[in-house]
Amino acid sequence: YKMIICLPQKMSGEKVNTMKCLGAEILRTPTEAAWDALDSHIFLSQRLAKELNGHVLDQYKNPANPLAHYEGTAEEIFEQTGGKLDYMVMSAGTGGTVTGTALKLKEKIPGIKIVAVDPYGSILAKPDNVNETSPRTGHKKLQGYHVEGIGYDFVPTVLDQGVVDYWVKTDDDESFAMGRNVVRHEGLLIGGSCGATMAGAYKFIKENNIGAGKTVGVLFADSSRNYMSKFMDDGWMASEGFKIDELVRTTNEKGLFEKLFGSGAASTKEKG
């Protein structure tokens, strides 16, 4: 089959190059385009499918998306934990992972709580008012953000927000700092959205005083292969306005991450 991939300019060059090598034609769309705008990747894919007599796999609506996690991911988590799991933390993108995994885990583990992580700028978290503004950075609802693959300016059909017990919001800086910490201290080559997931888990655990005797699972959905030129690159981080020296120091200086990004962190409002 001829494969055409429509994706926003925000997405990393590594993703584009990999898909090109696999034989796909790549069409880029403006990052700032709303999901229902004529120049969005969603609208473009639908238009091309109609014009070229093609088919859109459509991860936002396709029931196979959450079903794969219901039948696969959740079963793997249950098997590896022996069903001894109190909280499961996942980031929300299309919502397929969160929805499918949560539904199956709730069937098999009575009392388990699902925690979903959503970046500031996105509108997926509930209640709606938590999406308005980051109290630490001032990042606003529907304002662009750098973390890829999670959060949206609309609620995808496959996302069942009702399966989530707790929502946690994260900012780009804490997500990338945490991502770097996981890489540095755990040797796990994770992607930026995984940094957001872990930052959200860290925040949730601290704020709810979850300690000994409780088991918390955290799902890392992507690898650093796709982000070598982005959050793992000091030059890119600096060029995008991140305080790279501080972020690097969080990987070496005990307690600095909590000081910069914890509940008692000082406000660092964004410009504009």
**272 within a domain of the structure (yes/no):** no
**Of 51, 46, 44, 13, nearest in space to 30 by CA:** 44
Other CB atoms closer than 10 Å to residue 197's CB: what's the count? 32
Query: What are 49-58's pLDDT values in tens digits?
Result: 999 999 999 9
Name, in order, each residue with C-beta under 8 angstroms of 18's C-beta and a sequence gap of 6 or more: 225, 226
Cα–Cα distance, 145 to 221 (Å, whole number)? 19
User: Which pLDDT value is given to residue 264?
Assistant: 65
Task: For residues 143 and 89, state if they share a domain.
Answer: yes
Region 187-199 average pLDDT: 97
CA quadruple 129, 117, 64, 62: dihedral sign: positive
**147 within a domain of the structure (yes/no):** yes
**78 within a domain of the structure (yes/no):** yes
Domain of 149: which CATH number? 3.40.50.1100
Task: For residues 23 and 147, state if they share a domain.
Answer: no
Region 102-111 average pLDDT: 97
**61 within a domain of the structure (yes/no):** no
**268 within a domain of the structure (yes/no):** no
Query: What are 63-101's pLDDT values in tens digits?
Result: 999 999 999 999 999 999 999 999 999 999 999 999 999
- Contact at 8 Å (CB) between 65 and 94? yes
**57 within a domain of the structure (yes/no):** no
Task: For residues 42 and 78, state if they share a domain.
Answer: no
User: Which pLDDT value is given to residue 265?
Assistant: 64
User: Which pLDDT value is given to residue 36?
Assistant: 87
Is 244 a residue whose pLDDT tops 50?
yes
Region 260-268 average pLDDT: 70
Task: For residues 74 and 12, state if they share a domain.
Answer: no
Q: How many separate domains does the chain show? A: 2
Task: For residues 152 and 239, state if they share a domain.
Answer: yes
Region 30-37 average pLDDT: 88
Give the DSSP H or E segment for 100. helix 96-108
- Contact at 8 Å (CB) between 8 and 31? yes
Domain membership of residue 48 as a residue range: 4-52
| Bond preceding residue 63 cis, omega within 30 of 0 | no
**62 within a domain of the structure (yes/no):** no
